[in-house]
Structure 1
Amino acid sequence: MHDLTPIILSLKLSFITTLILFFICLYPAFYLSRNDFFGKKVLLSVLSLPLVLPPTVLGFYLLVCFSPNNFLGKFLAQFDIKLVFNFKALLIASIIYSLPFMFNPIYSAFSNLPDNLFHRAKLLQKTKANLIFRLCIPLIKPSIISACVMSFAHTMGEFGVVMMIGGSVEGETKVASIAVFEALENLELSKANEISLILLALSFAILFILQFVKQK
């Protein structure tokens, strides 16, 4: 049995990313589903951009943005904040790159709720928080679970973004996908196979869970 630190690191990154994305996306998805305004389509396109943007491109621009040689990187360095080649850099990159996988299903679910539901809630003078958490979330629970599962799976399998912004620092940024790549480069086939089999089993488990979610 080889070192499973990359697997544990990937699971940690995926869990934290999914948790943060859920709370980041919930209210914007609700607001955008219930309101029309100038520029909404542009905003929705920006939020979905990581779906079509090559991960290395996003990773490159994040690396440039947070580099100590640029304005933002220099500014953050004054507060002893470094957002390249560490776990925090991976987390920020993963949140940005996996955002559509959380946002889009929740946005679609909110959009498909009947308007009379919100009219009744308005008549009952429900607060926004009460409306979202007590009324809407129970109705769109399968979509939320699906969004969380897909965000988790997408983060687990990501390679390009995390390689660009995080590199391969042992125990810090060397996630499972990078460990497989490096094992193949070093012709450590048994190690690559072991990590790949674990990722395969996790991927199957995720898809298996989704089948139950879809039936509800």
Structure 2
Amino acid sequence: MSVPELSSETLSAIRLTIELAAITTVILLLVGTPIAWWLARSKAWWKEAIATVVALPLVLPPTVLGFYLLVALGPSGPGGQIASLWGARTLAFTFEGLVIGSVIYSMPFVVQPIRNAFEAMGERPLEVAATLRASPLRTFWSVALPLARPGFLTGAVLGFAHTVGEFGVVLMIGGNIPGETKVLSVAIYDYVETLRWAEATVLAAGMVVFAFIVILTMTLIEKRVARPGK
């Protein structure tokens, strides 16, 4: 059976998915790093409550999270008030809304590996830096970040992959708007509904290959961490 040529609509879904995953991953690394650092270093008794809130997307059904995000991003929620600043009515069913939803939905997949990496390095490197009169900021940039690099790599790969594979949340808050919110997972669902099996097969096979690459990458990172001297 010949492989069908990818339509402009399919190419648009692929482009949109990569763009969404890339933007989400960058935002998560910027936002998730200070959260992970605080969770790893704080002695506050209530920090695990914050960690639990961050981890909620791991167990919440995507439709539940998507519903609350739809309410929050809609005309009557905070998202509607923000959108009104540039004359729009809502952040739901927009690419910006997808980014917000993706950041929240994929946050635990980035925060947890980075937190684990910060905790694994222990106190000794930071104490040594302090004895050399390094400022806390310089210690963080020069000592903590390099030592936690495997955690950042893991978090970036997981965050990107999880965003690519999103379905329930993006469908709830983004719908199926070509060129705006129609990402790969939604495109596959749409093709199946309309009995376009050839296109669905190609995209599904591509997702399987992508998943294989992600798992292989994670395995190689873990082996590299286990043998840092080699």
Q: What TM-score, normalized to structure 2?
A: 0.89
Q: Structure 1 residues 152 and 74 mapped into 2: Cα distance closer, same or farther (>3 Å)?
A: closer
DSSP 3-state at the match of 1:36: coil
For 1:96 and 1:157, the matched residues in 2 are separated by: 14
For 1:46 and 1:125, the matched residues in 2 are separated by: 36
* Cα-to-partner distance string for 1:171-204 (whole Å, 9 max, x where unaligned): 1100000000010000000010111111122221
The 8 Å contact of residues 7 and 195 in structure 1, kept in 2 or not, is answered as no
Unaligned runs of 5+ in 1: none
The 8 Å contact of residues 16 and 179 in structure 2, kept in 1 or not, is answered as yes
Unaligned runs of 5+ in 2: 225-230
1:104 paired residue among 112, 115, 126: 112
Report the counterpart of residue 202 of structure 1 in structure 2: 210
Report the counterpart of residue 84 of structure 1 in structure 2: 92
1:113 paired residue among 112, 121, 131: 121
Report the counterpart of residue 38 of structure 2 in structure 1: 31
1:141 paired residue among 149, 152, 155: 149
* Matched residue count: 215
- Range 27-36 or range 164-173, more displaced: 27-36
- Range 27-36 or range 42-51, more displaced: 27-36
How far 1:29 sits from its partner (Å)?
Answer: 1.1
The 8 Å contact of residues 66 and 168 in structure 2, kept in 1 or not, is answered as yes
Superposition misfits of 4+ residues, deviation over 3 angstroms: none
How far 1:98 sits from its partner (Å)?
Answer: 0.1
For 1:73 and 1:198, the matched residues in 2 are separated by: 34
For 2:30 and 2:81, the matched residues in 1 are separated by: 27
- Range 77-86 or range 161-170, more displaced: 77-86
For 1:13 and 1:161, the matched residues in 2 are separated by: 13
The 8 Å contact of residues 26 and 106 in structure 1, kept in 2 or not, is answered as yes
Identity fraction in percent: 37
Report the counterpart of residue 81 of structure 2 in structure 1: 75
Q: Structure 1 residues 213 and 127 mapped into 2: Cα distance closer, same or farther (>3 Å)?
A: same
2:25 paired residue among 18, 37, 40: 18
- Range 161-170 or range 143-152, more displaced: 143-152
**Greater RCO, CA 8 A, separation 6+:** 1
Output the aligned Cα RMSD.
Answer: 1.4
Report the counterpart of residue 166 of structure 1 in structure 2: 174
The 8 Å contact of residues 25 and 156 in structure 2, kept in 1 or not, is answered as yes
* Cα-to-partner distance string for 1:120-144 (whole Å, 9 max, x where unaligned): 2222232333222211122122221
How far 1:211 sits from its partner (Å)?
Answer: 2.0
* Cα-to-partner distance string for 1:30-70 (whole Å, 9 max, x where unaligned): 122112113111111101111101111111001111211x2
- Range 147-156 or range 23-32, more displaced: 23-32
Q: Structure 1 residues 72 and 153 mapped into 2: Cα distance closer, same or farther (>3 Å)?
A: same
How far 1:71 sits from its partner (Å)?
Answer: 4.4
How far 1:93 sits from its partner (Å)?
Answer: 0.3
Report the counterpart of residue 54 of structure 1 in structure 2: 61
DSSP 3-state at the match of 2:177: coil
- Range 184-193 or range 136-145, more displaced: 136-145
For 2:140 and 2:95, the matched residues in 1 are separated by: 32
Q: What TM-score, normalized to structure 1?
A: 0.94
